[in-house]
Structure formats: C-alpha cells, structure tokens
Amino acid sequence: MAIPSQPRPPAPVDNPWDRAAPELSILSAGPSEMDRKGLRALLEHLGEPAFRGDQVFEGLYRHRWTSWDQFTQLSKGLRTKLEAAGPIFIPEITESVASEDGSTKHAFRLADGKQVEGVHMPYPPRGVHAPAPGRVTLCLSSQVGCAMGCTFCATGLMGIVRNLSAGEIVGQVVAMLNAHDHQEGGPVNLVFMGMGEPLHNLENVMAAFRILTDPGGMALSPRRITVSTSGLVNGIDRMGAYPKRPRLALSLNATTDEYRSRIMPVNRVWNLDSLSEALARFPLEKGERVTLEYVLLQGVTDSLEDGRRLARFAQRFPSKINLIPFNPHEGSGFEPPTEERIGALCQLLAKAGLIVSVRRSRGQDVAAACGQLVRGLQVAAKGPGGSHRAKRLP
C-alpha cells in the first residue's frame, strides 16, 4: 500500500525581510492608487469614454490637483461620481525642518496616521552659483519602518510596520512639489533613500515608477529615478527582470564581511561576494552604472586597504562610487575622515580606472540619519497628562 505523502512544511523564515511586509488595504481601490490604464477602466465603468481617464490622470499628476473640485473640465455630475469612488489622497505634511543649505525635511502623515519622511533638495544648494537652477532632488520613503535593521539607522530601530502603497509613494512627490511650488517642466530627480528598503516593497515601488514616468502625467525620466538598496540580492534579481526600471544604487559602507555584517545584518545572508555576483548579472543598459555609496568614517572605513578592497569590489561590474564623508553628530562616536585621506582615496580609486565623486550630504544640520525626524516626532509626542514622554513606536 502506498504511504500517503506528507504535506511539505513551509520553508523556515529566518529573516524579517523574507516575510512580505504588511500592506495598507483602506486605500487600495481608490483613484489615487490607479495608473492611467486603471483610471481609463474606472471612467468606462462610470459610463464615460476612456479618454476621460487620461484627463483625470493628467489632472492628478501633471497639474498635481489635490481636490476633485479642481477638475473643472469635467461635469459636476462626474466629479461627484469620482468623489464617491474615493478621495484624492495626498500624504499630509505635518512638520518641516529647513536646512541651512536650502534642503527641507518633511514628515508626512498617512491615511492610517502612520508617519514617514521625505527630503526636498533644490540644486544648486543655497549659496552656490550654478548656470541652470531649478533642478530638484526628492528623497522618498518606501515603507513605514524597515526590516533590515542597519545599526546606524534610526528607521532600522523601528522594525518594519508596513509597506507604502504606490499612491502613497507618488503622493510624497506631489506633496513636496506642491509645497515648494515646483514649476511644471523643471527637472526632478527621485531617490529612494528615505525610510524603508525599496526592494522589500518592490511591486508598489514599481507601480509608483510607472505612474511617475507615464508621459501623460508627471513624465519623469526613468534615468532620474534611483532605488538604493542595502543589498537585498533576491530583490536586485527581481528588479533586473523588469523591462523598464529605475537606476540601482547600493549602500555599501564596508569592504569586509566582518564589519559589514556587524552594521548591516543583511550581509550575514548575502555577503560581499554574492552581492558583487548579483550586481555583475544585473542587466544594465548601455552606459548605465550601478552607484556605490560608501560612507567614510575615520579609522573605521577610510584606510587605504579599504580603498583597495573597494576598488576590487567596484571593478567587477560597471559602477560609479560616491564617497560620503561622515558628518559628525552628537553621540555618534564617529569622526569624519581628513581631507588628505579623502584625496588619497579618490586618487587610488581613479588610478584603478573607476569613476569616483565625493558627495557632501545635504540637510545634515536638520537630521543626521533617515527616520530621525519621524522618530523624533514620535518620541516627543505629548502624553495624555501633557508632559513630554517617550512614546512606544508602532
């Protein structure tokens, strides 16, 4: 007699990033979550011709309208139907902190009351002359909290709370451009370097990417959108399979497995060798390079031996290196590298045939690490008795 086969037990889950992060369901069916195709289908469902969906998409993302009342080219009756289909949801800016260099860090409240943050960075920075002003870079969040647990990061301390929806990601862009009165046509760069690991929320990040790059709306250039990962190799492989996708950056920060595993737990699963293999098989377009971000800490990551290891890592695939001198803040326990050492490392990397630049962090006087503004707001929240007290993070 055949022995009935036992059902296979599910694969063990060892790491928080192996589990799908919780999703927000309350907004998922509303117009603010739809791409142009979805809006065309919605308008047809409401008994209108499909091109009305294009008009709605244009209003939402080219004109950045935030109320159905602004859609005056649509009949009152249709606006009422759209209102019933769902409100236009844009994350609310609840706190903004301006930096001396002209950048502004914003805290956003989402529909369920959770908070994330983003940064608006105009170029040139305040006090620097440039021939073509008007460019802006927006740093976006992709999750509430983060599963990756990097030890240097305020967001990592929160753990993962949930994914942002595509509409919430796009909504950060709309909210920041509106708050800063950005004129249509001015170049906009987007970097996913705020709260969360974007490759742990890849589907929603890619859905937002499609909305943001659609020529009928904001029409941002895919080349101006960069996703920065802590080294989630399965996410790198999955993003590489999309025919159209953002640029890729890696937050490297260490050149030995021993040190990287200490500060970035993901390295214990995908070490530097498996990371460089993933980047070497990532399907780059002609002329495209992976950006490597490397923070220089004096006496920790800035030795010439670090420089040589960094060069060997970066030579395995088309890359460009951003050296980021650490900007010291109270209690960090780290110091920035000397200018001589920065120069020596640049020379070493350039001699190895690599493209290298030194990036001075923007907005460092307003918060030293991503997630710090939101954590600060939550910790400073007043308790019921009116006194300031630490509040449990969600």
For residue 313, the one-letter residue type is F
Closest approach, Cβ 96 to ligand SF4, in A, equals: 21
Closest approach, Cβ 228 to ligand SF4, in A, equals: 8
| CA–CA gap between residue 358 and residue 345 (Å, rounded) | 10
| CA–CA gap between residue 329 and residue 286 (Å, rounded) | 40
Closest approach, Cβ 115 to ligand SF4, in A, equals: 14
Q: Can 346 be counted among the known catalytic residues?
A: no
Write down the catalytic residue from 33, 117, 168, 197.
Answer: 117
Sheet holding 355-358, edge to edge: 92-98, 104-109, 115-123, 135-139, 188-192, 225-229, 247-251, 290-296, 319-325, 355-358
User: Is the CB of 264 or the CB of 354 nearer to ligand SF4?
Assistant: 264
Q: Can 370 be counted among the known catalytic residues?
A: yes
Q: Directed axis angle between helix 339-351 and helix 304-314, to 10°?
A: 30
User: Is the CB of 17 or the CB of 68 nearer to ligand SF4?
Assistant: 17
User: Is the CB of 111 or the CB of 150 nearer to ligand SF4?
Assistant: 150
User: Is the CB of 91 or the CB of 149 nearer to ligand SF4?
Assistant: 149
User: Is the CB of 148 or the CB of 227 nearer to ligand SF4?
Assistant: 148
Closest approach, Cβ 381 to ligand SF4, in A, equals: 21
Closest approach, Cβ 347 to ligand SF4, in A, equals: 29
Closest approach, Cβ 144 to ligand SF4, in A, equals: 11
User: Is the CB of 24 or the CB of 158 nearer to ligand SF4?
Assistant: 158
Task: Give the pair of three-digit tokens for residue 379.
Answer: 């910790």
- CA distances, 292 to each of 231, 315, 317, 327 (Å): 11, 11, 11, 18
Nearest to 201 by CA among 23, 394, 32, 10: 23
3-state helix, strand, coil in the chain (%, to 5): 35, 20, 45
Q: List phi, psi (to 5°) of 162.
A: -170, 165
Q: What stretches of 152-217 show up as alpha helix (H) in DSSP? A: 166-179, 202-213
User: Is the CB of 196 or the CB of 307 nearer to ligand SF4?
Assistant: 196
- CA distances, 120 to each of 87, 106, 117, 142 (Å): 25, 8, 10, 16
| CA–CA gap between residue 11 and residue 13 (Å, rounded) | 6
Binding site for ligand SF4 (CB under 6 A): 146, 148-150, 153, 155-156, 195-197, 230, 370
User: Residues 121, 126, 131, 133: is their CA dihedral positive or negative?
Assistant: positive
Closest approach, Cβ 197 to ligand SF4, in A, equals: 4
| CA–CA gap between residue 108 and residue 139 (Å, rounded) | 13
**Residue 287 CB contacts under 8 Å (≥ 6 apart), including other chains:** none
Task: Give the pair of three-digit tokens for residue 262.
Answer: 């200490």
Task: Give the pair of three-digit tokens for residue 92.
Answer: 């609310």
Helix (H, G, I), strand (E, B) or coil at 322: strand
Write down the catalytic residue from 139, 146, 153, 370.
Answer: 370
User: Is the CB of 122 or the CB of 196 nearer to ligand SF4?
Assistant: 196
Closest approach, Cβ 370 to ligand SF4, in A, equals: 6
Let me know: does 272 contact 233? Beta carbons within 8 Å: no
Q: Provide the annotated active-site residues.
A: 117, 370
